[in-house]
């Protein structure tokens, strides 16, 4: 991948913004202060910004409604600090080329890199596409007040880059999620007599099905749909045959089925009552002829399917997931990102967008 030449102060500015974000606690749904910091940063760059709730976004200076739109999105909320932290999670310490702090890797490095790629293009009059950058809330809980709450405000989006730590590899497919609350029904009776219908035994038949069922189609990047029974509860005392058995199933869907299609298949095979807590966390995947594959080939970017979820699950338009940092560092004690990774993130995003702009009929 060729590297654009940028002023060193540009990278330092990105690191400074990330340090400021680290200093401010921003648990999901409590990101108001980091949202204000991001607003203030846009003001300092003379960039007009918008805010709804704790979501902040900006559009390139010379917006043209006749052009297609690319969204650059990442989140500024974090999980709670891991109990094994040895450093202050809100003290952005730099040691041996690493910037430590809660949210540095997931996904602050991605966010500031996308924002600076946006700044790089902000005043260009000749952009063949519109660019929107959004810093969104509640990603860690897939909340209603996150990116889903502003999509209608953004207008039509034709393609998105979602910033998550992938070592700048390109996730072209991502698993979705359904959580199922299931209830097997029986009939109570005395355990000492041949009475009743044991709901646990009824549940076991369905649990066995969840364990062994193989869906007809598998994803090229994500493999098969995965179903795991993760919780079970039944019975009130040792000598009573239980009349209900409740269990929970974690279902990781792939891009070859919608959540609705997977649920329909499940309902046709099990006797238990099944209730999906939500169908909104959908899998995503690009068609094999999508232009992003061509650009990744030309730039030597590795493609893969991601088992972890992001804001992609809430987007109904084509998207990829790509960003600096490493997924395995997310949610760990003494989280960090290398300063070099932030530089690589900014230049990598700019290079990808430049290649896309040069092929303005791609989308």
Q: pLDDT of 26-66, one tens digit each?
A: 999 999 999 999 999 999 999 999 999 999 999 999 999 99
For residue 180, report the phi and psi dihedrals to the nearest 5 degrees: -110, 130
Is the predicted pLDDT of residue 92 greater than 80, yes or no? Answer: yes
- pLDDT score of 359 more than 60: yes
For residue 48, the model assigns a pLDDT of: 97
Q: Is it the case that residue 147 has pLDDT exceeding 50?
A: yes
Helix or strand run (H / E) with residue 56: strand 55-59
pLDDT value at 184 more than 70: yes
User: Beta strand pairing status for 55-59 and 130-136?
Assistant: antiparallel
Tell me the average pLDDT across 9-23.
97
Mean pLDDT of 307-329: 95
Instruction: Please give the share of the chain, as a percent, with pLDDT higher than 70.
Output: 98
Tokens coding 224: 């098969």
Tens of pLDDT, residues 256-305: 999 999 999 999 999 999 999 999 999 999 999 999 999 999 999 999 99
- SS3 for 95? strand
Q: Residue 6: is its pLDDT beyond 90?
A: no
Range 113-127 average pLDDT: 96
pLDDT above 70 (res 362): no
Average pLDDT (70-80) is: 98
> What integer pLDDT is reported at residue 193 of this predicted model?
87
pLDDT at 1 over 50: no
Phi, psi of 252, deg, nearest 5: -100, 105
> What is the reported pLDDT for 357?
87
pLDDT bucket at 360, cuts 50 / 70 / 90: low
Q: pLDDT digits over 185-196, tens only?
A: 999 999 898 789
Query: What pLDDT does residue 233 have?
Result: 98
Q: Which two tokens stand for residue 174?
A: 């991502």
Torsions phi, psi for 293 (to 5 deg): -65, -40
Distance from C-alpha of 147 to C-alpha of 311, rounded to nearest angstrom: 7
pTM of the entire structure? Answer: 0.91
> Which whole number is the average pLDDT over 9-13?
94
Phi/psi of residue 234, nearest 5 degrees: -165, 155
Mean pLDDT (the chain, rounded): 95
Helices (H), 146-274: 151-154, 199-212, 259-269
Go through 314-335 and write b for each residue having 16 or more CB atoms within 10 A of its CB, e for each that does not: bbeebbbbbbbbebebbbeebb
pLDDT at 5 > cutoff 70: no
Q: Which whole number is the average pLDDT over 114-136? A: 96
């Amino acid at each position: 991948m060729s590297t654009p030449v940028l002023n060193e102060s540009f990278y330092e500015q990105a690191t400074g913004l990330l340090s400021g974000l680290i200093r401010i606690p921003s648990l999901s749904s409590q990101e108001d202060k980091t949202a204000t910091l991001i607003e203030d940063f846009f003001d300092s760059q003379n960039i007009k910004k918008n805010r709804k709730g704790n979501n902040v976004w900006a559009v390139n200076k010379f917006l043209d409604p006749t052009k297609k739109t690319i969204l650059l999105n990442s989140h500024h909320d974090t999980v709670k600090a891991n109990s094994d932290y040895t450093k202050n999670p809100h003290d952005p310490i730099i040691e041996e080329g690493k910037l430590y702090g809660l949210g540095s890797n997931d996904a602050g490095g991605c966010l500031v890199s996308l924002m600076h790629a946006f700044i790089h293009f902000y005043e260009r009059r000749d952009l063949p596409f519109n660019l929107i950058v959004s810093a969104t809330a509640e990603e860690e809980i897939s909340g209603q007040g996150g990116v889903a709450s502003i999509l209608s405000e953004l207008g039509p989006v034709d393609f998105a880059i979602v910033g998550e730590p992938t070592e700048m590899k390109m996730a072209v497919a991502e698993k979705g999620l359904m959580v199922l609350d299931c209830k097997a029904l029986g009939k109570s009776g005395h355990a000492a007599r041949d009475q009743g219908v044991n709901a646990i035994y009824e549940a076991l038949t369905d649990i066995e099905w969840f364990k062994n069922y193989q869906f007809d189609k598998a994803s090229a990047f994500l493999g098969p749909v995965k179903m795991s029974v993760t919780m079970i509860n039944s019975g009130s005392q040792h000598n009573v045959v239980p009349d209900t058995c409740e269990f929970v199933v974690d279902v990781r869907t792939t891009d070859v089925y919608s959540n609705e299609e997977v649920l329909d298949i499940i309902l046709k095979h099990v006797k238990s009552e099944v209730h999906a807590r939500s169908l909104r966390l959908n899998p995503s995947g690009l068609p094999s002829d999508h232009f992003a594959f061509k650009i990744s080939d030309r730039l030597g970017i590795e493609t893969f399917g991601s088992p972890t979820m992001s804001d992609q699950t809430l987007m109904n338009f084509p998207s990829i997931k790509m960003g600096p940092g490493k997924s395995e560092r997310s949610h760990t004690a003494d989280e960090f990102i290398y300063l070099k990774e932030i530089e690589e993130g900014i230049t990598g995003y700019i290079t990808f967008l430049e290649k896309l702009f040069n092929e303005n009929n791609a989308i």
